[in-house]
Amino acid sequence: MQPDTCRPPAVILLSKDTVCHNGGARDFAELLPTEMSVRIFGELDTASLCCASRTCRTWNHIIEGSDQLWRNQCLLVRALCQREVDGDRLEGLSWKVALVRNYSRSRLKSDWLKGRFSLVRSADELLGRIMTPLDAESWGEILQAELDR
């Protein structure tokens, strides 16, 4: 089968020389359709996604404009903070806002459930850790996990 001579392979499209000749585009987000860029950004974790949104205006526009990206990240947080995320969504908050409100709480709860604080001997060992209030039901889950260890 003959290669399509009208269109260069995708690898060449993304090479440095081709990029410079095709209108001066600088990165993949300017070359690819937005849907493809969203799929690429969708492979990032929450912290990396937030960093990527601060990289340049193009990336920020794509990331901030994609409810799908924030929804996927928020559903990961929801695995640990279902009541909180569901409550935020019922109040009409966006996926991004629900994620921002519950991200630290989910990280802290995850650390507690994994036993990362099981052997803390003094408050000094917690310096530098972000602490956030947890509800009674979350504490019940954490205490049960400690009892099961």
How many Å apart are CA 108 and CA 143, to the nearest integer?
14
- For residue 141, CA distances in Å to 21, 65, 126 come to 58, 36, 20
Bigger pLDDT: 106 vs 11:
106
Read off the pLDDT of residues 36-55 as tens digits, 9 standing for 90 and up.
Answer: 999 999 999 999 999 999 99
pLDDT tens figures, 50-90: 999 999 999 999 999 999 999 999 999 999 999 999 999 99
Q: How far apart are CA 82 and CA 67, in angstroms?
A: 19
Torsion of CA 19, 21, 24, 25, to 10 degrees: -30
Q: In degrees rounded to 5, what are phi and psi of residue 114?
A: -80, -5
- Token pair 């974790």 in the structure block, residue: 45
Contacts (Cβ under 8 Å, ≥6 apart) of 110: 80
pTM of the model: 0.68
Could you give the CA distance from residue 75 to residue 4 in angstroms, rounded to a whole number? 41
Q: Which amino acid is at 103?
A: Y
